[in-house]
Amino acid sequence: MKKRILLNDPNLLQSEVRALQRDLQDLKSSVETKRQEVASLTNELKAVQAKNLNLTHEVASLQSQNGNFKRAFDDMEGVLLKSGSVYTTWGKRTCPNRNGTDIIYSGLIGGSSSSEPGNGVNTLCLPHDPEALPDHVIPLVQATANYGHLFGAEYHFSFNKVVIHDDVPCAVCLAKMSATTLMFPAKRTCPPSWIKQYSGFLGSNYYDYGKNEYLCLDENPDYIERSRENIAGLFLYPVKSVCGSLPCPPYKNSTLISCVVCSLK
């Protein structure tokens, strides 16, 4: 049964008006609350949009930096590929089978005779296809009576597949991805960040003959297939330690000296 308002009842009418005013006030409060919530959400949305814009800029900046780093790396890699590091493998016809290492040429070891006090000191890797001087230079060179001598090299020991008097090969190698290459005497391992190219043992002239370089002979040496005749030339002997000025320990007397050739990235 519906309640009827008696218009002639002022108290009831006044009560109903107050109720309507309260409802209206509650509605206004609810609307204001919703408006504030909408305003808050709007501000949050703007903050998220601003943050998203900043992140977009940061991503673009990182992508740009990454592109710059990649270009710089490519440029550096290109420089290394164009230059790299050159070294000689003594006692081998080929270069180590390592990524980024190519052979420039294969040859034979040349240097001073063990029985002559003069000539050059450094050891050479001579190519198998020498080129003669032009004709107009030869008479000028022949006008002098004094010369230096260049000889080939022989092993003066037997080891693995080589025997005494075998001629000694060599190979000139390019480590394309390396900045430098170095021989480390008395070591078989490379320092951290270095790449091992090959290891072996030191070779030099006999101690009672003339001087020549210490070379790192590959531990699995090759030889040049020729006669094994003992001919004057550069002789290579294994090198042993001598205690005294050389501290023992850590070294041991009359012990063969190891070596390793390493490249730095």
pLDDT value for 31: 80
Residue 222 has pLDDT above 80, yes or no: yes
Burial of residue 217 (number of CB atoms within 10 Å: 0-12, 13-18, 19+): buried
Query: DSSP assignment, residue 69?
Result: H
- Which of 81-85, 95-99, 149-153, 170-174 has the highest mean predicted lDDT (pLDDT)? 170-174
Tell whether the model's pLDDT for residue 113 goes beyond 90: no
Q: What is the DSSP letter of 72?
A: H
Of 134-143, 165-174, 204-213, give the lowest mean pLDDT range. Answer: 134-143
The model's confidence at residue 198, banded by pLDDT at 50, 70 and 90, is: very high
Which carries the bigger pLDDT value, residue 200 or residue 14? Answer: 200
Is the pLDDT at 157 greater than 50? The verdict is: yes
What are the residues facing 213 on neighbouring strands?
none
The Cα–Cα gap between 168 and 221 comes to 9
Low-confidence winner among 42-46, 145-149, 185-189, 199-203 (lowest mean pLDDT): 145-149
Query: How do beta strands 124-127 and 101-111 pair?
Result: antiparallel
Ranges 42-46, 158-162, 255-259: which has the least confidence = 42-46
- Give pLDDT, residue 43: 85
- What are the beta bridge partners of residue 204? 237
Query: Which string of DSSP letters, residue by residue, matches 93-135?
Result: SS----TTEEEEEEEEEEE--TT-S-S-SS-EEEESS--PPPT
Percent of the chain with pLDDT over 70: 87
pLDDT-derived band at 80 (thresholds 50, 70, 90) equals very low
Q: Cα–Cα distance between 111 and 123 in angstroms, integer?
A: 5
Give pLDDT, residue 72. Answer: 65
* Among 218, 176, 212, 197, CA closest to 76: 176
Query: Bigger pLDDT: 84 or 201?
Result: 201
Q: Could you tell me if residue 33 is left (phi over 0), alpha (psi between -120 and 50 degrees) or otherwise beta?
A: alpha
Task: Return the structure tokens found at 179.
Answer: 């900045």
* Bond from prior residue into 250 cis (ω within 30 degrees of 0): yes
The better pLDDT of the pair 174, 20 is held by 174
Residue 94 to residue 106: CA distance in whole angstroms = 7
